[in-house]
């Protein structure tokens, strides 16, 4: 008699294939679920493999568009970067994959979900917190990662943090030394903090759907070697790990979004929003996408993006993103006010009082500390 039905997040690789066979041997009925989030995968071959190993059903779900719109775009709005360098490519993919896994489990009446994430990493936490949040009664009966946003590499030779990555490791990006000798000049248009159009100025190519925009930026960034990082990060479970990541399209958008945001957002709102972006990054990295606090932070960040609108011109060349210019109907930049040649609606005499008021705190601090002696 079957112990119940399990929906297995299946990749077609060795780990999840072994898990599928093991679950069958333990008496479970297994439904294999493959999520297409942009990775280079032969899904039909994986389907046949799962069926040959005994899966009762196989679901192949194309999640690329919702991955971009529901998960990557909020990360772009937040300028989400974990520990100042990691753009969270794997972390934002897990709640997308887990959400559809839960939908299938509910629809098929499955009592269990399973995955191939290691117990030493972050992904076990991310998968299972997603499943427990969206399907509280479900149970979990007990590595290169690739997706549309990035590719990550870890383990093996990379476990020695001193070891250099092999030259042939990278799959999404060219070595910047081998990148084209001429830049691609792009214009990216934003509304409410997300890109709505990208145009290659020289080639006259335009993309305006979320999936097409992100895929094209991956292509351009990859061609020019943009978005490679090699870091040691702090896992949620308390250990450090070394990872190498390629995030070409995400790196372009981070640079451009930062620019249009600074151009259109109030200084103090941006200061608060920066703190929210850090909090959002930590929550997503740790697997709390579906927590009430992350929902609240996402809502606040979305509110901050209402006026983040306009166009940014940029050059992508030899591993770098260069901002060339920007324009916006909602810009807070006042050329007359800031000009050194025109007084505009500003009285320079006001600066004297402003400086004196700000100096009060500094004077009091140094009065208590004792004024430092002046070196001759």
Nearest Cα to Cα of residue 19 among 54, 59, 60, 61: 54
Burial 345-359 (b: 16+ CB within 10 A, else e): eeeeeeeeeeeeeee
Supply the pTM of this predicted model. 0.90
pLDDT value of position 158: 86
Distance CA 326, CA 308 (A): 12
pLDDT value of position 69: 98
CA 20 to chain centre: 30
157, 166 contact by CB (below 8 A) = yes
Domains observed in the chain: 5-64+88-148 (3.40.50.620), 152-327 (3.90.1260.10)
Q: Residue 372 class from Cβ within 10 Å (0-12 exposed, 13-18 middle, 19+ buried)?
A: exposed
Active site residue ranges? 15, 94, 123, 143
What is the sign of the dihedral through the CA atoms of 262, 267, 269 and 270? positive
- H-type alpha helices, the chain: 14-25, 43-52, 64-67, 73-77, 89-108, 123-134, 210-223, 248-264, 267-285, 292-304, 335-338, 350-369
Distance CA 284, CA 70 (A): 13
218, 148 contact by CB (below 8 A) = yes
What is the sign of the dihedral through the CA atoms of 201, 207, 211 and 216? negative
Nearest Cα to Cα of residue 186 among 74, 75, 325, 80: 325
pLDDT value of position 157: 81
pLDDT value of position 15: 86
All residues at 6 or more sequence positions from 354 whose CB lies less than 8 Å from its CB, including other chains: none
**Residue 351 tokens, joined:** 């600066």
> What pairs with residue 61 in β-bridges?
35
**Residue 78 tokens, joined:** 């937040």
pLDDT value of position 344: 66
The SS3 assignment for 337 reads: helix
All residues at 6 or more sequence positions from 171 whose CB lies less than 8 Å from its CB, including other chains: 40, 146, 151, 246
Per-position pLDDT tens, the chain of length 376: 789 999 999 999 888 999 999 999 999 999 999 999 999 889 999 999 999 999 999 999 999 999 999 999 999 999 999 999 999 999 999 999 999 999 999 999 999 999 888 767 788 899 989 999 999 999 885 445 567 777 787 777 888 999 998 888 999 999 999 999 999 999 999 999 999 999 999 999 999 999 999 999 999 999 999 999 999 999 998 899 999 999 999 999 999 999 999 999 999 999 999 999 999 999 999 999 999 999 999 999 999 999 999 999 999 999 999 999 999 999 999 877 776 666 667 787 888 999 999 999 999 888 888 766 556 5
């Amino acid at each position: 008699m079957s112990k119940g039905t399990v929906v297995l997040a299946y990749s077609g690789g060795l780990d999840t294939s072994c898990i599928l066979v093991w679950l069958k041997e333990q008496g479970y009925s297994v439904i294999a679920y493959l999520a297409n989030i942009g990775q280079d995968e032969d899904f039909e071959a994986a389907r046949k493999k799962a069926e040959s190993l005994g899966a009762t059903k196989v679901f192949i779900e194309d999640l690329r568009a919702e991955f971009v719109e529901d998960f990557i775009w909020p990360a772009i709005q937040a300028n989400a970067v974990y520990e100042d360098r990691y753009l969270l490519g794997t972390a934002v993919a897990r709640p997308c994959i887990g959400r559809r896994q839960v939908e299938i489990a509910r629809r098929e009446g499955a009592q269990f979900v399973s995955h191939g994430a290691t117990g030493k990493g972050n992904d076990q936490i991310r998968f299972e917190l997603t499943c427990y949040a969206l399907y509280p009664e479900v149970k979990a009966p007990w590595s290169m990662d690739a997706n549309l946003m990035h590719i990550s590499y870890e383990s093996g030779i990379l476990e020695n943090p001193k070891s250099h990555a092999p030259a042939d490791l990278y799959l999404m990006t060219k070595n910047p030394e081998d990148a084209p000798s001429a830049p691609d000049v792009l214009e990216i248009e934003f509304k409410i903090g997300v890109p709505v159009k990208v145009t290659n100025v020289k080639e006259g190519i335009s993309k305006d759907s979320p999936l097409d925009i992100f895929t094209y930026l991956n292509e351009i960034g990859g061609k020019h070697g943009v978005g490679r990082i090699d870091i040691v990060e702090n896992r949620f479970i308390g250990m450090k790990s070394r990872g190498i990541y390629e995030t070409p399209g995400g790196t372009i958008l981070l640079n451009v979004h930062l620019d249009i945001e600074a151009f259109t957002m109030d200084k103090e709102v941006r200061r608060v929003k920066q703190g929210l972006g850090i909090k959002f990054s930590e929550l997503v990295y740790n697997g709390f996408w579906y927590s009430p606090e992350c929902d609240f932070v996402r809502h606040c960040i979305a509110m901050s993006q209402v006026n983040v609108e306009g166009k940014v011109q940029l050059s992508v060349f030899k591993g770098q993103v260069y901002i060339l210019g920007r324009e916006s109907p909602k810009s807070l930049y006042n050329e007359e006010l800031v000009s050194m040649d025109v007084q505009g609606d500003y009285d320079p005499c006001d600066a004297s009082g402003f400086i004196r008021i700000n100096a009060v705190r500094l004077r009091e601090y140094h009065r208590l500390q004792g004024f430092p002696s002046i070196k001759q």
